[in-house]
Each structure stands twice: as structure tokens, then as C-alpha cells.
Structure 1
């Protein structure tokens, strides 16, 4: 397996497909998944002539399960070390959900010197948690419930959460056992402690200032029926904070766009990259 070792000694697994001299696209996955969720994109963009890289976040998938440092700042720094150790330049950063937070925090902490474009899909910025300054956010009780269910019986919870994640509770929707099995498989690969820590990281991190530093073209894609990261407290705000953002709303779509609408998503991202 391909891994890098970070400064704190954590091994981060990654896939690296396509021509090594091609423009790189780096994909950051959502909670509680792994790089595998990006496979439809990795194959598509590698075949389109790009170098594609996707890593398992620390404590997720095949990366080391660590007790400490499961924070958004550390996720961003891990992404930075991956980019630096592979000496990637002119990078397109693509982040889904929590991965969108990771990408945004990377820009805030490390700048855009190695970055060409950013794509945020169903991403958590600017802030998920409801506060006095963020009245449109989700109440703390929502995330406490996620913590409770993850700790109490995550094996069952990772089957149950698939329903709102992929909008299988909408009229006419047919649940895909394959998608549910794959979600469960990826979730159960991760460490419980790191997954619990990550809930705090994705829900309580404020990315407002990071978004303001996103001085490269950014494509923000979001489903207007996203039940996991509601669009009103995320993309509609982020698109106003990132200086060069373009907002693309998928009507009727939920949180699992990269899998359920892979062809459309891939085409939109490819067109954006090509300019």
C-alpha cells in the first residue's frame, strides 16, 4: 500500500493513479468514508488524462487509527504533507462534506501556492453548528445524536444513515443495497475514537476566514435537498465568502451526488477545470 508518514508519525494511505506528469487532482472524502468513495471519479479523471490522488483521512480507512490529533487543523496539515511529499503543483483540490472542510482549512493554513482550483461538493463550510452568529446552522443536539448512535452501535447506524444521506426516504427512491453495503464497509474500516472526534471537527469548525482566503477559482456544487448538510447554512453562504466562487445547485439532489450522479458531477468538474 502507498502511504506517507506525517510529522507526528501517522501513516496516511493514498491512491495515486494516472500519469505522474499530468495535472494532479486530489480528492478528500467525507465522514465516515474512505478514498474508495471517489473511485468513479478517479477512473474517469485518470482516463481523461489527469493524475488522481485520494487519501484516507487519519483514523479512517487504511490510515493509522490515532487517539489524538483528530482535528480539522490536523486533517488540513495531513493534506498539506501529502501534497508536499508528492511535490504536487497546480493541484485541483476536490472535497466532499467533511473533505470540503479539510480542503478549505488547507487553503486557510497553507495558502494556494500549489493550488489551481478548488471544488467543494456538499461541503460543511462555513459552519454547520447553530450559534448566535450562525442562526441557520443545525442545533448541537443533532450532532450529539450522531455521536450517541456512532458510539452505541455504529454498525447499525452506518446502515441507517444511508437513507437520508442518499435521499432514499424521498418518494419514488429505491434503496441500493450495494451503495449501503459499500458505505457500511468503508465506515467500519475506521477507528471509533477518530470517528467520534471527527464529528466535533466537522460540526464545530468555523471556516469563514478560510473561505475568504480562497483566492483561486472555486466551484461549489450542492444538492438543494441535501439532508446531511443543508444548503442554506453551507453552500449558499460559502459561495458569497470565497472571492472567486461559482455556485452550481443540483435541484432535488441529496448528499451522495458523486456516486448517484457521477456522470453529471464528473462532467461539471471537468468543464470547470478546463475553463
Structure 2
């Protein structure tokens, strides 16, 4: 792992090598770049230059008290791409990482970007509002998540990771894999965890999606109990101009682990177009 300064903070990243086109993997909440362990070997074996990093507040990156909003996250990403001289890249955002993909392309455009992937991702807009009745979260749900983290982080994460990897009431990964996910959360600051709940729970990405002018792959589990397909992946696929949608049958939210082979296959097919 290496460190670089981006947008005023130190970001921990790993450039996994490969001299092909860059693929930048952006992790979900409340994990770290290490959560892509099932994807990195498949991508590097196919020759891609794979880059993972820890979002501010998570993993080994700096943990400032502020900056837990998508405008800041997108600028953190922009600094990483610039410092590593990344061009012609595919951005892959899982869960809340899909927000960085949307906001980066909405704010910065596609000069450095060849294509994008939304995997179990939060766009277009999770919060239920008068003009977004199809959202998946009421404000009380967002507040409830925050209260869960504040009142008992360990107990909350035990329940959350079970839901994360479950489809139709059944855990789709081994207990060891679930515990590995919990371990990835250990270094995260509680301030970052709380700020990110507000960010992914209440940020409207609809205008960002409409600006995307590169090919997009949407991959989503049909049994995702955290970010339901109908609320997010389906609507993203309908909004983006050039989108391909792949639904993972019996797929939980954490299908990058439970259905790793399927995700890797559709990801490589998309990259090889």
C-alpha cells in the first residue's frame, strides 16, 4: 500500500500493477479498499491496472473531522486520478462508492474516464421526498442508522453485515467472510461512519446521472435488502443514456463476495467491449 496527498488529506491506495487500462475500484460503506479482494486478482490476471483506495475516514486514510459529503469525496477521487496520471479509466463504485462515480462524472466530466460501473450502488437518490416518492429511505431510517452506530457500533455492525450478505433470509457467504468484513470496519472513524450515512442517505444524484456520457454497466442483486434494485439499480439503468443492466439472481447487497465469479465475469465482459 502507498500514500498520496489528495484534496488536503493523505489517501491510502494500492496500485496493483498491470500495464493495461486502469480500473479504479471505489468501496462501499463502512468498509475499505480491501473489500475488493475477490475482484482484484481476476482483473489483474486479465492485464488491467487495478487501483483501490480507502475513502477518507476509513481504512488507513486520514480521518479528518469534516468532508464527509459527495462533493468532497469526488474531489478526493479527482486528486488520486491526477496524481497517479490515470486516463482512459473505468470507475467501479460499489454501494456508496457509486455516489463518487456519479458525482465525479457529473462535476468533472469524462475527460479521464472511458466507462463506469454501478455495483449495488446508491444512486440515483435513496431519500424519499415529495419529488422522489420512489426512494428507499425515510429520514427516520437515516436517523435510525446513525443512532444504531452511536448507541452500539459493534452490535449494529453485527446486524448490518448479516443483512449485507443475506438474500431472502439466508446468509450467502461463510461466517468467516462476514467476520472479515467486520474486521475491515475496525479502523473507520465513527465520525466518518455517521457523516457517510447522511451523505449516501440524502444525496440526490439524479442530475449527475443525466450528465454521464460514457458507457455504464449497472450490476445489482435482485434480493438486495440494503439498497433495493427497484430503488437504485433499475432507476440508474433507466436514467443513464448508455447503460447495460445485469441483475444477479438471489444476490444480496454484498454480491461482490457472495457472487464474485458472476460479478467478475460481467465486469470483464464489459471492460473488453
* TM-score, normalised with respect to structure 1: 0.96
Q: Distance in 2 between matches of 1:33 and 1:72?
A: 17
Aligned to 1:272: 270
More divergent stretch after superposition (191-200 vs 231-240)? 231-240
Provide structure 2 residue ranges, at least 5 long, that are not aligned to the other structure: none
Helix, strand or coil at the partner of 1:240: helix
1:141 aligns with 2:143: no
Aligned to 1:204: 202
Alignment of 1:146-165 (within 5 A): 146-165=145-164
Residue 169 of structure 1 and its aligned partner are, at CA, apart by: 6.2
Q: Distance in 2 between matches of 1:180 and 1:40?
A: 14
Aligned to 1:167: 166
Aligned to 2:5: 5
Shift >4 Å, 4+ stretches: none
- RMSD of aligned C-alpha atoms? 1.3
Residue 238 of structure 1 and its aligned partner are, at CA, apart by: 0.9
Aligned to 2:213: 215
Q: Distance in 1 between matches of 2:84 and 2:173?
A: 39
> Contact 1:95/1:120 (CA < 8 Å) preserved in 2?
yes
Aligned to 2:106: 108
> Contact 1:95/1:123 (CA < 8 Å) preserved in 2?
yes
Residue 48 of structure 1 and its aligned partner are, at CA, apart by: 1.0
More divergent stretch after superposition (232-241 vs 125-134)? 232-241
Q: Distance in 2 between matches of 1:224 and 1:89?
A: 33
Helix, strand or coil at the partner of 1:161: helix
Helix, strand or coil at the partner of 1:231: coil
Residue 251 of structure 1 and its aligned partner are, at CA, apart by: 2.2
Q: Distance in 2 between matches of 1:7 and 1:210?
A: 21
Aligned to 1:191: 189
> Contact 1:168/1:175 (CA < 8 Å) preserved in 2?
no
* Number of aligned residues: 272
Aligned to 1:125: 123
> Contact 2:167/2:223 (CA < 8 Å) preserved in 1?
no
Residue 168 of structure 1 and its aligned partner are, at CA, apart by: 6.0
Provide structure 1 residue ranges, at least 5 long, that are not aligned to the other structure: none
> Contact 1:108/1:210 (CA < 8 Å) preserved in 2?
yes
* TM-score, normalised with respect to structure 2: 0.96
Helix, strand or coil at the partner of 2:62: coil
> Contact 1:163/1:169 (CA < 8 Å) preserved in 2?
no
Q: Distance in 2 between matches of 1:125 and 1:50?
A: 26
Residue 62 (structure 2) aligned to one of 58, 61, 64: 64
